[in-house]
Amino acid sequence: MQQFDLIVIGSGPGGYRAAVLATLRGLSVAIIEKAQWGGCCLNRGCVPKKDWHHTAQLVAASQHFAKRGISGTLSAELDGAWQHQHTIVETVRDSYTDYMKRLGIAAFEGRAQFVDAHTLAIGETRLSAKHIIIATGSSPLIPDAYPLTAGRVLTTDDLFDNPPPAGKRVAMVGSGVIGTEFAFILSQLGREVLWITQSKPLANSAFSQPALKILHEALARHDLKARTGCRAQCVEVLPDGVKLTLGDGSVETVDWVLLGTGRRPHTDALALDAAGVALDAKGFVKVNAYLQTSVPHIYAIGDVANPRMTANQALADAVIAVANILKPNSRKQDAAAVPELVYSAVELGRIGMNEDDAEDAELEPAVGFAAFETNPRALGQDDTDGFVRLIADMDSGALLGAEVVGYDAGEMIHSIAQQFGHDDALARFAATFYNHPARTEEIQNATETLAAKWGLAEQVFGE
């Protein structure tokens, strides 16, 4: 039996990050993957999806070309976009596996099962470790009405695993992040989208109403509007398409259906009972603030234990778990400190609390706001949608949360995340020297507005 300090089950962003960090800190590490190295995020999630989103943005931006003196229009085709992401994914995967080899991480392919709390089986192979991290991710949640059918009824996993089906008319099902992103992406990659949802897009998210208003307006400019309150009552797969009978009584026929209806934690066939690892009522592995399971030397990170189900959270969890393996109970998870992003007709980024969260915590929120509508950089990019919005505690001036909406929000939110959690975060924003013209200047403007409006000059400027 091979012995290790740490075994990681799953090579997605959390598992891979944990294996690398632990190895760099001197632990002997094995990582087990039953499918493709890199997990969902690399192969059929955030990496290929952002590749497609960039293509969609280029097409969407072409509507402004004429006034910039650029003639012609752009169009995109899903087949070419699929091949491009496939190449990107292979390149990144090769880089991942090469780095693991160079670090000396022992890589095992196959399905892992617990034999006991320290031992894992991969077929006939047995591995043992002082610590184990479960990072097995999640799998698509399929509504009962939809029969998965190759080329007709697909999950987003299926869409990235195989070249896209023929046909222009696509039903996009789901109002969450996945549905909101893919409705826009597919519309720009040459598909006519019928968007079927139960609720308004992102209605259950923590984004503010001003943020969602900008998103909905941007989607409408691309002729995208969700048909809400519209659960499918009957789904019939035909030889040449899919017939949908919807809850409002209407009948629609599309070429294929894409399901963005959420995901479920993936714990199948792990034999968790053999190790004594407990699940909660929704199937997530139960963890404490240090990401320990019910068996203290076994940790769980990412989608399998965290309902947020994002690569960002999995990467953050990996840092927490490894820190606690090296020094027990040294670092607690802080989900609020991990950015949340949406890449759709506009980008949405947020971190920390919103106003409702602050009030629930019996804090009095103060808000600072700066829009991009007069920002020189945004004007020069023909893209002035959005804003920076900061939420602080009225009494202490501490930064409670932030929101960025608009072009490159996914990058800008990191400038805020770097200071999030510091008591003097707003003072740091105010004292930073910024490039000009730049969108990030609005972080400083929102800070100064907040200080002036709410009487926080002393906390922000030291006055």
User: Residue 270: what pLDDT?
Assistant: 97
Domain 2-140+264-336 has CATH 3.40.50.2000: no
| Neighbouring residues of 326: CB distance < 8 A, sequence distance ≥ 6 | 22, 25, 27
pLDDT score for 463: 65
N- to C-terminal Cα distance for the chain? 65
The pLDDT averaged over each successive group of 10 residues in the chain (463 residues) is 96 98 98 95 95 96 90 89 97 97 98 98 97 97 95 96 96 97 97 96 96 97 94 94 93 98 94 98 97 98 96 97 98 96 98 94 95 98 97 95 97 96 94 96 97 90 78
Q: Among residues 364, 407, 365, which one has the least CA distance to residue 388?
A: 407
Tokens encoding 299: 């940790």
Query: Going edge to edge, which strands form the sheet with 232-238?
Result: 232-238, 241-246, 251-254
- CATH class, domain 346-461, is alpha beta
* CATH 3.50.50.60 residue ranges for the chain: 2-140+264-336, 153-261
Given a contact cutoff of 8 angstroms between Cβ atoms, the answer to whether 285 and 272 are in contact is yes
Identify the CA nearest to 152 among candidates 253, 84, 19. Answer: 253
**Residue ranges, CATH 3.30.390.30, the chain:** 346-461
CATH annotation of 153-261: 3.50.50.60
Q: Across the strands, what pairs with 116?
A: 119
3-state DSSP call for residue 261? coil
pTM: 0.96
